[in-house]
Amino acid sequence: MRKISPLLLLLAAAPLFAAPKPPPAPAKLPNFFNETMNFRIIWKGIPAGDVTMRTRTDGDKFININARVNSLAAVHGIYYVQGVFASKWNHVTRTPVIAYEEAYQGDAYQRRKFRFGAGKVNVDKNEKKFQEHSYPHSDTLKGEWKENYDVSTKGGYQDLMGAFYQVRSTGRIPNVGEVLKVPVLPAGARRSLILKVLGREKRNDVPFFGSREIIHVKSALVDDANNKTQSGSNMFFNTQSQIEMWITADADFVPVKIWTEVPYLGTAFILLENYSQP
């Protein structure tokens, strides 16, 4: 029998004993998955409130998003705004897990809990109507409504905060004239958030940043059932008017200025006051 060279045996066995290949490096997450944004609400040239929005990664799949809206006591006697918003979002599948919204705006109160599952979301909702738009509210209500129901999420429907990060995580800046249609669930109903890019320019008056290239975006909600424009909405206000935004034209896609017409108040501006990433 012909002997096999020990050298050949060693070379043949080498792959079995070779050091294992290191696993591929995980993809770098966008910086805005860990960020804090502070906004100032301006009404008629005076500070009227503030907004804080914070996002943090949770394990290797999720981000937790929290926002708080606070109107100052100086405007409580005219029009009361207060709210908390939270969402847990799977950034791997780009789908929502749970969401919570509780907001006072004028004479209205809404609390909504969203529990997302396979192809549907369970919505638990409580709404109230007060006698007045100011605060404190009287104990006598105009009405109160409670509902619990399931809504189909087929087509990618999710809460507004999750949708905001879905748009940001696409990794691309939309072109001027481009229209984006994002399926959302404001107040637990299926709608489409329409975003139209009106312009792109370098400006020297960008809140917090000073000089920065921005895109100018207008948004509106459309009722998918009859294709009619509904009350506009962003993460913080419900309003009859469309909402306009300046957003940085870079990888972070930071909203730096938001403005809209608020009932009984007129034009309100939400201006970025501070932005940080840990």
CATH number at residue 96: 2.40.360
202 compared with 235, residue with greater pLDDT: 202
What is the pTM (predicted TM-score) of this model? Answer: 0.84
Question: Is 81 part of a structural domain of the chain?
Answer: yes
The residue segments making up the domain with residue 265 are 30-276
Question: Is 35 part of a structural domain of the chain?
Answer: yes
Radius of gyration of the chain from Cα atoms? 24
Question: Is 9 part of a structural domain of the chain?
Answer: no
Question: Is 3 part of a structural domain of the chain?
Answer: no
Indicate left, alpha or beta for 177 from its phi (over 0: left) and psi (-120 to 50: alpha). left
Q: Which residues have C-beta within 8 Å of that of residue 67, sequence separation ≥ 6?
A: 51, 52, 53, 54, 83, 84, 85, 86, 161, 235, 236
Is 244 a residue whose pLDDT tops 50? yes
Question: Is 21 part of a structural domain of the chain?
Answer: no
Q: d(Cα 53, Cα 178) in Å, to the nearest integer?
A: 27
* pLDDT per position as a tens digit, 80-102: 999 999 999 999 999 999 999 99
Using CA atoms of 142, 144, 150, 155 in order, give the dihedral in degrees to the nearest 10: 30
Q: Name the residue with tokens 């129901």.
A: 149
* pLDDT per position as a tens digit, 85-144: 999 999 999 999 999 999 999 999 999 999 999 999 999 999 999 999 999 999 999 999
What pLDDT was estimated at residue 242? Answer: 85
Q: What are phi and psi of 220, to 5 degrees?
A: -155, 155
What pLDDT was estimated at residue 192? Answer: 92
* pLDDT per position as a tens digit, 51-66: 999 999 999 999 999 9
Give the chain's mean pLDDT: 87
Domain count, the chain: 1
> What share of the chain in percent tops pLDDT 90?
76
Q: Which residues have C-beta within 8 Å of that of residue 246, sequence separation ≥ 6?
A: 203, 206, 214, 215, 216, 217, 255, 256, 257, 258
Q: Name the residue with tokens 């932005």.
A: 275
What pLDDT was estimated at residue 221? Answer: 87
Question: Is 10 part of a structural domain of the chain?
Answer: no
